[in-house]
Structure 1
Amino acid sequence: MIARRHRRPVRLGLLAAALLLAALTALVMVRDGRPFGVDTGLHHWALTHRDPALDRFGIDLAVTGTGAPAYAVAALAGAVATGTRRWWWRGALVGVAALASAELLRTSLATAVGRPRPPRADWLAYASGHAFPSGHSTTSALLAIGLTAALLTHAQRRTTRAAAVVLPSLWALAVGVDRVYLGVHWPTDVLAGWLLAAVIGGALLPLLGALTRALSSSPAAWPTGRWWPRPASPEPSRDRDG
């Protein structure tokens, strides 16, 4: 849970990410998806600095940022967030559902923008769909945010808390940079993926945190309200004869 003194900076950061994403999306659409100077420059740099060992590592790294591995991490983050052995599967389902919803949102945005990828001759790995925003970058950044938040709920030592922040962040950063190295995304596609992940994560994390905490308890302890009624208790059985 975000401390009260940190809520304002987090909200300001969320607003800044949303505005930057909106501005970048508008610029890409105005240019009909054509790459910016920074895109072509960094793309060319990546092509001229490839190495067979890095090529293999980059291809393997990309696998961790999508598909089954990504959903496995999402399930792990949700399970850890519940903090209980009995109801871990509820949190796992929440994590998977949250990632699927985010993927649907990203795919919708990518379809609306319709930006082409870099030339196919430059690819080191197969890629499908539109380029903006990068799916791997969005997914890995979202997973890093969710996994960090889940681990911080249990980490007590300063070194453990630092590792919970640094390690997922480095992995997400590496996956995003790798998409440029592999030649399947422009750098601004990756930047847009990170911004989108920040917006989605910042907006949904409080809700997901409350949901996983609620699901970690028995149904009788679930919160009540107009939109979340308490499950009805079974009535005692009665004999037909009264």
Structure 2
Amino acid sequence: MLLSPSGLDRDITNSVIARRDDVLTAIAHAVTTTGNTLVLTTVVVVAVIGLVVYRAHTEAVLVAAGSAGGFVAMVGLKHLFARPRPPVDDRLLDIDSYSFPSGHAMMSTIVFGLLALAAYRLSIWVREHALVLVIAPVWAIAIGCTRVYLGVHWTTDVLAGWLLGALWVAACVWLCRRWAPIDRPATVGEWTSPRHRGPRN
């Protein structure tokens, strides 16, 4: 199923290309790297290992299964829509795969969103300072923007990635509330002192 880019997609890409400079390009390359499959996979593996060590088994499953499921859904959608990427001459990265939705935008939203959800469930401090959770969507937004700047995605690819990623995280939140509610108050000490580790579900 071929999904053609809109006129607005082309206009935004052309406008961004016209405003590129060396400093912004270097920043975009650095930020977009944090949304790569290798980096996000490493983050998930380290987080899951840490959660298992601290006996947060529900949250470990949440992050692992949620991220893996999101990745499978993202790849499936790419092949379903089979949208070509912007022209090769517009790209600052050598990449050859389908464009819709943006995997960087979708997976960074999912991974960082699930990590934020796990932190919220486990830490009283996070629940009392919920504004810190804004870091997750802000960073995912930054990553998505770099994909348009680097010319490897249309704007609607990125918008769809953010939306689908947010919906996936929302589904995970719903599942957690239904089948694994927070059963006891968690404290920051649980993350720093083994003697405070109580039995987890």
TM-score class normalised by the smaller sequence: 0.7 to 0.9
Secondary structure, counterpart of 1:34 in structure 2? coil
Within a 5 Å distance, the mapping from 1:62-211 to structure 2 comes to 62-75=32-45, 78=48, 85-88=53-56, 91-92=59-60, 94-153=62-121, 154-156=123-125, 160-163=129-132, 165-208=133-176, 210=179
Could you tell me the TM-score, scaled by structure 2's length?
0.78
Q: Find the aligned partners of 1:193 and 1:157 in 2 and give their Cα distance.
A: 26
Moved beyond 3 Å, runs of 4+: 75-80, 88-94, 157-160, 208-214
Aligned residues: 186
Structure 1 unaligned regions, length at least 5: 1-28, 223-242
Q: Aligned pair 1:56/2:34, yes or no?
A: no
Amino acid at match of 1:55: T
Letter in 2 for 1:171: W
More off after superposition, 89-98 vs 181-190: 89-98
* Alpha-carbon RMSD: 2.9
CA–CA distance in structure 2, aligned partners of residues 170 and 76 of structure 1: 22
Alignment counterpart, residue 7 of structure 2, candidates 25, 34, 37: 37
Q: Which is greater in Rg?
A: 1
SS at match of 1:130: coil
Q: Is the 8 A contact 1:79 1:91 kept in 2?
A: no
SS in 1 for 2:5: coil
The Cα shift of 1:65 comes to 0.7
CA shift in 2, pair 1:101/1:158, >3 Å: closer
Q: What are the Cα deviations for residues 185-233 of structure 1, in whole angstroms up to 9, with x where unaligned?
A: 000000111111122111123335756979x975xx85xxxxxxxxxxx
How far apart are residue 110 of structure 1 and its match?
A: 1.0
Describe the shift of the 1:75–1:205 C-alpha distance in structure 2 as closer, same or farther (beyond 3 A).
Answer: farther
TM-score by length of 1: 0.66
Residue by residue, what CA displacement relative to the aligned partner does 1:94-120 show, whole Å, maximum 9, x if unpaired? Answer: 523321221111111110111000001
1:123: how far off? 0.7
Say if 2:62 and 2:114, in contact at 8 Å, map to a contact too: no
Matches of 2:98 and 2:144, distance apart in 1 = 16
Change (3 A) 1:152 1:79: farther
Deviation by residue 1:25-74 (Cα, 9 ceiling, x = unmatched): xxxx5xx4221121011101110111112112211211111223212333
Separation (CA, whole Å) in 1 of partners of 2:49 and 2:18: 43
**1:12 maps to what in 2?**
none
Residues 94, 212 of structure 1: 8 Å contact kept: no
Q: Per-residue deviation at 1:139?
A: 0.5
